[in-house]
Chain A
Amino acid sequence: MFKKITLLHLLFLCSSFSWSQAVFLDNDSIENSLDEVIISGTKTIRTVSSLPLNASVIKKDAIEKTNATRLSDVINEELGLITVSDFGGAEGIQMQGLDSEYTLVLLDNQPLVGRLAGTLDLNRISVGNIKQIEIVRGPSSSLYGNNAFAGVINIITEEPSEGFNGYLSSTYETHKTLDNSINLNYKKKKFYGSVFFNNYSSDGYDLIEDDGLNTVNKFNTNTLQIKFGQNISESLKVKINARYYAQLIDNIAPNSLSGETFTAEDNINLIVSHESDKLKTDLEIYFTSYFGDEFLDDDQGNRFSESFYDQILFKPEIKTVYKVNNQKELVFGLGYKYESLNRTYFDLKPKQKSPFIYFQYDFNPNDKVNLIFGGRFDKYKEYKSQISPKFSGIYKIGDNESIKVSAGYGYKTPDFRQLYFNFSNSTIGYSVIGYNVVEDVLNQLINEGQIANIIVPIDEFEEPLSPESSFGLNVGYNRDLNEKINMSVNVFNNSAKNLIDYRVIANKTNGQNVFSYYNVNNVSTFGFDIKTKFKTDNYLNFTLGYQLLYAFDLDARNAFENGEIFARLTPTSPAFRLKKSDYFGLYNRSRHMGVFKVNYNNLEKKFSANLRLRYRSKYGLFDSNSNNYLDKYDTFVKGHFTTNISLNKKINSKTMVSGGIENIFNYLDTENISSLSGRIYYLRIKHNLN
């Protein structure tokens, strides 16, 4: 049944998030206070323009003006980022052509857990109190360790400014979607406190009628976030951040089965910061848990199935920033990660314990160059310990022109599911066994007479599964052509190996297969993106961006090259051999993507409007011609545009009214795109409390 965690965890009010006070900015950007600031790149405060990494920031203002209620809506409008759903419905981020399980998602600097099928569902994060979203592309395991393969997304929530302020906001959207938030902030002298509460609910929608199912089921979500900070002395500060999230979704399955899915999450972070002239130390103690419970009853009310998921992470970490002088800054950190998971379909409760240590040296050899070297060591007992180095550098060609390069290593350890799963589908009859439990479970199935023959001998599972790893390279060029126009070009390349996939390891006597996981894939993604921002006058500004992406499985490419792959033009015509150029690449990747945004801002009239267009070229979702690869002859999802528009008007000094339409042209692809439900109208009111 449902676990009532509410009171227990709310009482446990400890958590922390802090802006490091020691600042390492180059002089130009101090003058230009509009320069965006980012901490995720280096775990110190840097400006985006001076950072040698492929990084960007989405600021609160931009998010507000689009009236987004879900994080996936915000992310989807960034060039090169796409949200993709896994088969469990969780929406994750695809970055530089790498799958959503390879992007680390942080909330206020700390990781979230609960990836049931590998993806972290973005929609667990409310948009209402976001201060900014920081995106760092390229492997970042040198600072963050596990999972920071494709990159890092850090969602930073607001911290109060002096005095009392707050707001109330209410949004109503098509499909009876309601989003209500209240935010109260107070800061005085040495103390601050803030409370944020959000309720988000919807009736959902159904794109395919008469299948007895809904595309998106009715749901209700609550988020509560509380922050406190106290300056204990001139140099000592304590901060606590706590967050509680709960969601209830209707669960409807074929054969008149229905039930509910309940998930609850809490995060608690305590930070103690000490700052002296050159040294700033932060001790962060972080705890998070994610709990999910799902059940289905038949139409008589009898329990048909139930499964649960219970994961916790505990991570103390201490970080010291030593500012040698204005040209040199050293970061040193160490910590410990303890993670455990208890879930249905696991025979045991696995734990992962890993201590880690990292360092970073950030220095300017002269006033045109900034270099950053760093590395991290993560110790693991179950697999090879990981060393993740990273190097980046930026060269200022002129006041308005720079070129940067970054190269680094990222990894992802096999997740608990790939190691410990023990699941048999009761209707079709196939089984999925985690790598580490193959011997036990397979022997058990053999004793039960369920195995017809073994394809992969059991001794092949003696060597532990290797972590997946990637080497990424990003080269970028940025130029302000004049005060009104900025352009940037970024070229990227990621070489990933040992990616884990599943394969048949045995045949069962019922004619079905037994699957397990193995390290197999070598994937290469490369491409470039080009972006330009220009202002015509004080009212209008435009953004135009384009990304080209190639994402290949290298072994697949070889198979095509060797003439091993065949296809048919129609299902009943004779097969023919395919060439290397017939291989399209990985599933769900578009070769071309583009964004176009127009912002109109009239301060005198207190009115703003914006138009956002997004383009995605064709992509393949599955192998339709049964040759196991995505080739030219498969069926593709058509390339398409989505267009959104928003209008915002301040009706008095404290109140803003907004309205808009998402997917104005009502683009639908009910077979393939479950996130587009036609035109969405919305109306929003936001009222500031002071």
Chain B
Amino acid sequence: MKTIKLLVLSIMLISFFNCEDDGPNLQDIQSVSIEDLYAPQEGGQGQPISGTFARFDFETGLQTESETEWDVAFRGTSIIVNGGTSLGTTDEPERTGDAGVYIFDGTMAEMVAVETSLIIQDSSSGYAIQSGSGNGWYTYAGPPTYLINPTPGKILVFRTRDGKYAKMEILSYYLGAPENPDAFSDPSRYFTFNYVYQPNEGVTDFN
């Protein structure tokens, strides 16, 4: 009798501790690969720059034409977020959300927890992701290859327009993400990147 009571108690205790606390429904993180997102630009190379930015939404994982439902946008080598204020270049969209970004030095796998204090937004004096080779996401190789290469070890960490987080590694700036790009024959301004999206609002880790 005593043994059975003990057994039942044990089983109940064990089950109690093994019971998972479901809590509110947590969605899984999403790991996505995007290929050849086209980000055309008019002008540049000393001429005034213009052209529509190619807008992207982490939640849908798709390019969008929406003026509000976007987190990050690309034009040529420029990358902007839907947060802060516009730099005022021609055709640049108004910011309608609270997105921000910072650059983490490390590998995609090492970026496990967002440091929210480092997040900055675009402003009227410059984009959060700085322009110019070596300052932001890319390095311009110069002679002899003249390639635009995404700098290894730079992870873009985003806060989306609505308070969720994503980390992104840009892999290529050329159409088809070739293994040996040729700056003279491979069309450029095609972004290939991997990202991990944390769909749970306010959650800053990517587990």
Binding site for B on A (CB under 8 A): 87, 426-429, 452-453, 455, 504, 507, 510-513, 564-568, 570-577, 621-628, 671
Q: In whole angstroms, how far apart are the Cα atoms of A568 and B192 in the complex?
A: 15
Select A571's contact among B78, B109, B180, beta carbons within 8 Å.
B180
Q: Are A504 and B132 in contact (CB under 8 A)?
A: yes
Residue in chain A with minimal CB distance to B77: A511
Distance, CA A671 to CA B107, complexed state (A): 33
Q: Which of A428, A567, A623 contacts B141 (CB 8 A)?
A: A623
17 A-B pairs whose Cβ atoms sit less than 8 Å apart in the complex: A427-B45, A507-B126, A507-B132, A567-B152, A571-B179, A571-B180, A574-B107, A574-B108, A574-B109, A575-B154, A577-B107, A577-B110, A622-B142, A622-B143, A625-B152, A626-B150, A671-B144
Once the chains are docked, how many angstroms separate the CA of A671 from the CA of B182? Answer: 14
Render B144-158 as a binary contact track against A, CB cut-off 8 A, 1 for contact: 110101111110000
Bound Cα distance from A52 to B127, whole angstroms: 60
B145 contacts A624, CB within 8 Å? yes
Which residues does chain A contribute within 8 Å of B109, judged by CB atoms? 574
Taking a contact as CB atoms under 8 Å apart, the answer to whether A511 and B139 are in contact is no
The 5 A-B residue pairs with the shortest CB-CB distance, nearest first, are A566-B153, A626-B149, A575-B152, A566-B152, A626-B139
B169 interfacial contact with A, CB 8 Å: yes
Binds A, one of B52-60, B94-102, B170-178: B170-178
User: Is the pair B151, A577 in contact by a Cβ cutoff of 8 Å?
Assistant: no
Contact B46 A574 (CB under 8 A): no
- Fill in one digit per residue for B105-131: 1 if any A CB lies within 8 Å of its CB, else 0: 111111000000000000001100011
Contact A427 B177 (CB under 8 A): no
Residues of B within 8 A of A (CB): 44-46, 49, 77-78, 105-110, 125-126, 130-135, 138-139, 141-145, 147, 149-154, 169, 171-172, 177-181, 192, 194
Which of B49, B131, B152 contacts A627, CB < 8 Å? Answer: B152
A627 near B141 with CB under 8 A, answer no
Besides A455-B135, A507-B131, A575-B153, 11 other A-B contacts (C-beta < 8 A): A428-B46, A504-B132, A511-B132, A572-B171, A572-B178, A572-B179, A572-B192, A575-B152, A626-B138, A626-B151, A626-B152
**Given A427-B45, A625-B149, A575 and B192 contact (CB-CB distance below 8 Å):** no
Within 8 Å by CB of A510, from B46, B181, B192, lies: B46
A513→B133 contact, CB < 8 A: yes
- Quick check: B134 and A627 within 8 Å, CB to CB? no
A572 to B141, CA, bound (A): 16
Q: A426-B46, A570-B179, A577-B107 are in contact. Are A627 and B132 (CB under 8 A)?
A: no
Q: How far is the CB of B154 from chain A (nearest CB, A)?
A: 8
Q: How far is the CA of A628 from the CA of B126 in the complex (A)?
A: 24
> B107 CB to closest chain A CB, in angstroms?
6
Q: Nearest-CB distance from B183 to chain A (Å)?
A: 12
B48 to A: closest C-beta gap in Å: 9
B134, A628: Cβ atoms under 8 Å? yes
Alpha-carbon distance between A568 and B44 when the two chains are bound, in angstroms:
29
* Bound CA–CA A91/B47 (angstroms): 37
CA of A3 to CA of B85 in the docked complex: distance in angstroms?
57
Q: How far is the CA of A128 from the CA of B194 in the complex (A)?
A: 63
| Contact of B107 with A566 in the complex, beta carbons under 8 Å | yes
CA distance A627 to B133 in the complex (A): 11
Q: Which residue of A lies closest to B126 (CB)?
A: A453
CB distance from B91 to the nearest CB of A (A): 15
CB pair A565 B153 closer than 8 Å: yes
Give Cα distance in the complex from A571 to B133, angstroms: 17
Which chain A positions have C-beta within 8 A of B135?
455, 504, 507
CB nearest neighbor in A for B125: A453
Please give, as numbers and ranges, the residues of chain B lying within 8 Å of A627 by CB-CB distance.
139, 151-153
How far is A511 from B110 in the complex, measured between Cα atoms in Å? 31
Q: How far is the CB of B111 from chain A (nearest CB, A)?
A: 11
CA distance A624 to B126 in the complex (A): 29
Least CB separation from A425: chain B residue: B46
Contact A564 B172 (CB under 8 A): no
Find the B residue at minimum CB distance from A424: B46
> Whose C-beta in chain A lies nearest to the C-beta of B193?
A572
The answer to whether B194 touches A574 (Cβ under 8 A) is: yes
* Shortest Cβ distance from residue B92 to the other chain A in the assembled complex, whole angstroms: 14
Whose C-beta in chain B lies nearest to the C-beta of A564? B105
- Of the listed residues A87, A512, A575, A623, the one surrounded by the most CB atoms of chain B closer than 10 A to its CB is A575
Give chain A residues whose Cβ lies under 8 Å from the Cβ of B172.
Answer: 571-572
Known: A624-B145, A626-B139. A512 touches B151 (CB 8 A): no
Residues in B with CB closer than 8 Å to A566 are: 106-107, 152-153
Q: Which residue of B lies closest to A624 (CB)?
A: B145
**In the assembly, what is the distance between CA of A50 and CA of B134, in Å?**
52
Given contacts A453-B126, A572-B192, A511 and B152 within 8 Å (CB-CB) = no
Given known A507-B131, A507-B132, A511-B77, contact A575–B107 (CB-CB < 8 A): yes
- Whether A507 touches B105, Cβ cut-off 8 Å, given contacts A571-B149, A571-B171, A574-B194, is no
Q: Which residue of A lies closest to B142 (CB)?
A: A622
